[in-house]
A = this chain, B = another copy of it.
Amino acid sequence: MNSIEEKCKKKGVRLTEQRKIIAEVMSESKDHPDVDELHKRVSSVDKKISIATVYRTVKLFEEAGILEKHEFKGGKARYEQSPDEHHDHLIDINSGEIIEFVDKDIEKLQNEVAKKLGYKLVDHKLELYGSKIKK
């Protein structure tokens, strides 16, 4: 059983055949597929799964904290399995490649900024857009 299925069990999310397949595909994915791409991947396992079900499942998993949704610049929503340790993303503006990174100092400063403004930081979005330095 894959890790997403386990999380569903733990959270009491009903496991249907379709959800199991979507869970499996997302567990294996190392990238950040959009719904269309995800639908293609699950279709190769069971071609009867509709895109509506993929949309519904992905939203369900997101609300359960199992998947994370990203809305990068001017594109469709992309998903990844919620990581144990939070990370942000750098997007290669030429290739579209997505690189994950962690920076504790930035995180800390974000908290301080929010606090200074009289807010408790609940969530944040940090995306860097860059082009590869050739050397």
Contacts and interface: CB of A to CB of B under 8 A. Distances in A.
A127 B99 CA distance: 19
Interface in A45-81: 71, 73-74
A120 B121 CA distance: 28
Interface residues of A, number: 33
B131 A119 contact: yes
Contact of A73 (B71, B99, B109, B127): B71
A127 B121 CA distance: 11
A114 B128 contact: yes
Interface of A: 71, 73-74, 90, 92-93, 99, 101, 103, 105-106, 109-110, 113-115, 117-133
